[in-house]
Amino acid sequence: MDPNTFPTKGNLMLAKNSLVLAKQGYELMDKKRNILIRELMELIDEAKGVQSEIDVTFTSAYRALQRTNMELGINYVQEIATTIPIEDSIMIKTRSIMGTEIPLVQAEHCDTMPTYAYYSTRESLDIARSCFEKVKQLTINLSMIENAAYRLATNIKKTQKRANALKNITIPYYETLTTSIQNALEEKEREEFTRLKVIKRTHSK
């Protein structure tokens, strides 16, 4: 038997303190969960907007690319594509939301000069290049939002489990323990009072 469940005044104080801490812990978990859910909802709305913008930009980019392929030839466009440098400017940092590490993905956005000559190409290639540059930025942004949303959802699930454990297991346990110890102590006090009355009555005879 757990010695902390013995009906003593010391154990009663421990049980009451544990009950207070459990209730405070539940309130904190509940607040944390609500904050994380609010952040997640904002990210979901933001992701919808970015995804919609990506769809439109992709459509424009591929339309411009198809036109370029027809005007310049697929092989020539492929040759130009091989001259584009590899993207290496992406940096990943993090920020914390209620203990959840959220990625911050950044990429240097600089207007680099085209790797092809204007005189040997058409305007459709410039349009395609501009559209795909925008798609790249939007994709980076979307990947950051989706990753953050996934991490928040995972943390919300963990927080919900902890809150449920406190609400359905820990708090009821200490409420029951506090009541049982208190009842036992009150019963003991009544027995002691009755015993003293009997002793007093016996001595008075």
3-state SS class at 105: strand
Q: What pLDDT does residue 112 have?
A: 65
Tell me the backbone φ, ψ of residue 88, rounded to 5 degrees.
Answer: -135, 20
Q: Assign 110 a pLDDT band (cuts: 50, 70, 90).
A: low
**For helices 74-81 and 9-72, angle between their N-to-C axes, nearest 10 degrees:** 130
8 A C-beta contact, residue 8 and residue 167: no
Q: Which tokens in the block code for residue 129? A: 């290049």
| List of E strands, the chain | 90-97, 100-107
Q: Assign 205 a pLDDT band (cuts: 50, 70, 90).
A: low
Lowest mean pLDDT, pick from 19-33, 121-135, 150-164? 121-135
8 A C-beta contact, residue 131 and residue 61: yes
Compare 2 and 135 and report the one with higher pLDDT: 135
Tell me the backbone φ, ψ of residue 98, rounded to 5 degrees.
Answer: 50, 45
Q: How far apart are CA 7 and CA 184, in angstroms?
A: 6
* pLDDT at residue 37 is higher than 90: yes
Q: Which tokens in the block code for residue 29? A: 């978990």
Q: What pLDDT does residue 204 have?
A: 64
Q: Which tokens in the block code for residue 38? A: 């609010």
Compare 105 and 36 and report the one with higher pLDDT: 36
Compare 98 and 155 and report the one with higher pLDDT: 155
Sign for the CA dihedral angle at 105, 42, 34, 147 comes to negative
Which residue is it, tokens 């359905």?
168
Q: How far apart are CA 60 and CA 66, in angstroms?
A: 10
Answer yes or no: pTM beyond 0.75.
Answer: no
Q: Assign 1 a pLDDT band (cuts: 50, 70, 90).
A: very low
